[in-house]
Amino acid sequence: MRYFVAVAEELHFGRAAQRLGIAQPPLSRAIRQLERRLGAALLERSSRAVTLTEAGAVLLREARAALDAVEAAERRTRRAALATTGRPGVVLATKAGASSELLAQLLAAYAAEPDAVTVDLLLCGIGEQERMLRDGRADVALLHLPFDTTAGFDTEELCTEGQVVILPAGHPLAGRAQVRTADVTELPDLPMPRWPGRDGSYPDGPGPQARDHAQLFQLIALGRACWIAPESCRTQLREDLAAVPVLDAPPVTTVIAWPPHSRSRAVAGLVRAATPRSHVTVV
C-alpha cells in the first residue's frame, strides 16, 4: 500500500521507486500484484503517462488513512511504553504563532490538575495538525475552523473570535474602526502574500512570498502586503502594524480535537482543563 501511494502521488514508477528506496521492477510487480489481489485496475499506463483510475483514486484516499492509522498505532504504542518506564507526556499540536494567549491559559489550567504530565508542544504549519493527530505524532490538537477540518475527530469548542486585517501603521485604512473584506482584497498596493504549500512550492499570482510570520509582518510593515488573521493575534503585533476588524470575515472558532478512540487520561485532562465552562455552568 505504501508502494501504491508513492506511485499514485508521483504518477511515475521510476521516481516512486527512488522515493521508496527500491528498484523500479519490483515496484511494477508489486502494483500489478496488488491490482490482481483487489481485482481492480488502479492505474492507467499509457507508456508515456500514468494516471489514476476511479478505483485508484478511492484506494489512494483510503490507503492514506490506513497508513496513517498504522503509523499512529506504532507511535502511540512507543509513547505509551516510554510513559511507563520514563517520563510520561502528551503531545499537543498547535498552529505556530496562533492563539498564544488561549494556549497559555490552557497550559496553566492543565498544569494545575493533580495528575498533570509534561505537555510537549508541536508547532505545525498551516493545516498540518490534522495530519499529526491522524498519524500519531500528536495526541491532541488545537484546530481553527473554518480553516481546518475536524472530520474524524472528537472536538470541544473553546472560543470564537472575529478576524482583523493587519496593515502598515500609516496606511489610510488603518484609522478606520472597521472594514469589509472587499475593502482589503482589492487593494492593488497591498496584495495578500503567498504561502508555500506542503510541498514547499509557492502558488502563482501577485503578492510577495512569505515563509513564516516574522517575514509576513516584515512585509506588511514595509507596506508591501496586508493579511487577514484572527483577532487574538493582536497581542503579538509589532508597533509598526495596525489591526482593523473585518466585519464580514467568517468568525474563527478554536476547538480542541483528539482521536475518537483515545483513552489517555492525559488527553482527557487537557480537554477538561480547556473547557472549564462546563464545570462553571454546573456549579
Partner DNA sequence: GGCAGCGATACCTCATGGGTATCGATCCCG
Partner DNA sequence: CGGGATCGATACCCATGAGGTATCGCTGCC
Applying CB under 8 A, which residues contact its own copies? 1, 38-42, 53-55, 57-59, 61-63, 65-66, 68-70, 72-74, 76-78, 80-81, 83-84, 136, 149, 151-154, 259-261, 263
Residue matched to cell numbers 498533570 = 116
Nearest CB to DNA, comparing residues 48 and 263? 48
Which residue, 23, 9, 106, 112, is CA-closest to 67? 9
Q: How far is CA 93 from CA 22, 66, 75, in A?
A: 33, 21, 15
Q: Measured from the CB of residue 25, what is the shortest distance to DNA in angstroms? A: 3
Least separation in angstroms between CB 4 and its own copies:
10
Q: Quick one: what does residue 126 bind among its own copies, DNA, none, with the CB cut-off 5 to 8 Å set by partner type?
A: none
- The minimum distance between CB 199 and DNA, in angstroms, equals 19
Residue 32 or 277 having the CB closest to DNA = 32
What region does 225 belong to: left with phi over 0, alpha with psi -120 to 50, or beta?
beta
Cα separation of 84 and 94, whole Å? 25
State the cell numbers at 263. Answer: 483513552
Q: Which does 54 bind (CB under 5 to 8 A by kind): its own copies, DNA, none?
A: its own copies
Residues between 39 and 98 that touch DNA (CB under 7 A): 45-48, 50
Percent helix / strand / coil, the chain, rounded to 5: 45, 20, 35
Binding site for DNA (CB under 7 A): 12-14, 21-26, 28-33, 45-48, 50
